[in-house]
Each structure stands twice: as C-alpha cells, then as structure tokens.
Structure 1
C-alpha cells in the first residue's frame, strides 16, 4: 500500500510502473499499488463531494470513489472511448486504507523506470503544479509523469475510504 510522497526504488534503482494516458500525456503509477484494471462502467454521482472524486462505482460488490486526475492537472474532461478504463488502486489516505478507481483515457503497459532517467518537475514553466508530480521520467523521446497521489488527494478533496484489500 502506497502512503508516502516518495517513490521507493528497488536495490537496482528501478521501479515497476503501469503507464496510462490522460489527455495525450503519459502518466505512470507504481505497479504495486494497482489492484485491477476495469472496463468503464456506469458511475453514480455523489452530491456534495469534491469535484476530483465526484462519483462512485461498484468494485467487487463494494462502492469505491472514482477520481478524475484530468481535473488535478487542469485537463478538460475527456469523452469515454473504447480505450477508456478505470485503474483500481489501493493507497493510504488520512491513515486509512483506500481503494480508489482512477479514470484513464487509455492503459498501456507495465514497464520499468530507472531512477537515473528521472528528474524533479521544473519549478517554472510547467502547466501543472510541481507538488502534484513525484518525478518526470524520460523514455526514448517521451516524458512519463509520475503523479503524487497523496498530495493531490490531500489538496483537491477528501477521498472516503473504500474497501480494504
């Protein structure tokens, strides 16, 4: 279960991640926090909830919040396509184990990021909040954004604890 703001690299300075798209940008989550990848299903809106987690879905018979990272990174909401998925993750939020569904425009692969290919987000010149990014990783000519989910959820809205895994 992920609960810290820092990435925990293995002894070789690597980490396995699941890559996915948000509005044409490649993002990555530590693979050990991913429980399952789901096809899109109907969501139920929750009145009065934080915009970033304004709906819930049924996951294995339990209701879990759905977070839309498009909002945290200032992207427009995307239409659902045949490639859209929910990435179900587990992390600790406010000292509680939470299972959360994250909206993704497309899920790619599990791959490895080497610490030597990463750097901190620039303090100036990015359109995203620097504190919402754990690191940027270079792969070929692309950048992979590793978001800081605990920070995003602490600032953008309270996530209620879902099922414990």
Structure 2
C-alpha cells in the first residue's frame, strides 16, 4: 500500500453492494433511519423532512439520486446528516445509506480519478476512487451531486421548515 501524500478521513457506507465515501469533515452525525414528513410534488429522490435537533433537514434517497433502485429500509439503514458547502452557503441534508461501515483514512496518492470508460456518462459527482482489497470505494463530491436548481429548491424547502 502507498503511504505518501496527505491523509484525509472519510465515512464509508454502502448503497447495495457498492461502497461510497464522504469526508468526515462534512458529516454532522449519523442517525438511525426513521420515517420522514413527506413533501408533496418534490423530486422522487427527496424523501421528505426530518427533525434533527430542532432543524428541518431534507432527506435524500441517495440510491435514487445516483440512478439506483429505491432504498428498502432495513435495521442497518442509516441517515448521514451532512453540511454541504454549495453556492456560497451551507446546505444541511440527510443522506440515506443502506449501511454505514467505518471512518477510513485515505492518502491523496491512494485516490484515483474517475475511470474513463470511453463514453459520456455522468461522473461529475465522483471525486475519486480508492482501491480497497478486492473492491473499490467511490468518493462522492456532495457539492457536485446536486444541480444548482436542486440546491436552491432544497435550500428553500429547508428554509420553509425552519420558519414553520
């Protein structure tokens, strides 16, 4: 294993059989899954709002946002509450994950760029890929996961929940 480069800690989690990671620095807390307050006419990936310490937090089904099948909650399902710096503000979101594994440290030289598969595909949200034993962990750029329009809509949803 390579040991050079600066080290960053990541929270690793599963969506199906795939492993993903986000920087520890953006994770506020990890909660058990519970039903949320549904928001009519929201995008399919927006499950609704959840009360997190007095704050209305939009909860996203990360599987749906990444084009996978809808999350079927199990006893292992968790919600990562993250603070995402986007468009000059910090947006607090809940991301539903099938399972949260651990905090893992990756060095900068372990992180590879998204693979070139020879065709156009939406890999903008991939910050990098790390080899882990016989598999990989995909590091997600939360700021690039959502479009600017989606950020504005989610911020408005969160703002309305705060005002209520």
Fold shared per TM-score above 0.5: yes
Residues 1:103 and 2:77 are matched in the alignment: no
- Whether the aligned pair in 1 keeps the contact of 2:60 and 2:96 (CA below 8 Å) is yes
Match of 1:146 among 135, 139, 144: 139
Q: Which ranges in structure 2 are unaligned for 5 or more consecutive residues?
A: none
Q: 2:155 aligns with which of 150, 153, 160?
A: 160
Are the structure 2 counterparts of residues 126 and 89 from structure 1 closer, same or farther at C-alpha, using a change threshold of 3 Å?
Answer: farther
Shift of 1:125: 6.3
Q: Is the 8 Å Cα contact of residues 54 and 65 (structure 1) preserved in structure 2?
A: yes
- CA RMSD in angstroms comes to 2.4
Distance 2:27 2:33 in 1: 16
* Cα separation, partners in 2 of 1:84 and 1:54, compared to 1, 3 Å: closer
| Equivalent pair of 2:64/2:71 in contact (CA under 8 Å) | no
Distance 1:52 1:113 in 2: 29
Residue 49 of structure 1 deviates from its aligned partner by: 2.1
Q: TM-score, normalised by structure 2?
A: 0.83
Say which of 86, 89, 93 aligns to 1:93: 86
Instruction: Compare CA radii of gyration and give the structure with the larger one.
Output: 2
1:117 aligns with 2:93: no
- Give the one of 2, 9, 12 matched to 1:16: 9
Contact 1:19 1:107 in 2 (8 A): yes
Structure 1 unaligned residues grouped into runs of 5+: 1-10
Number of residue equivalences: 154
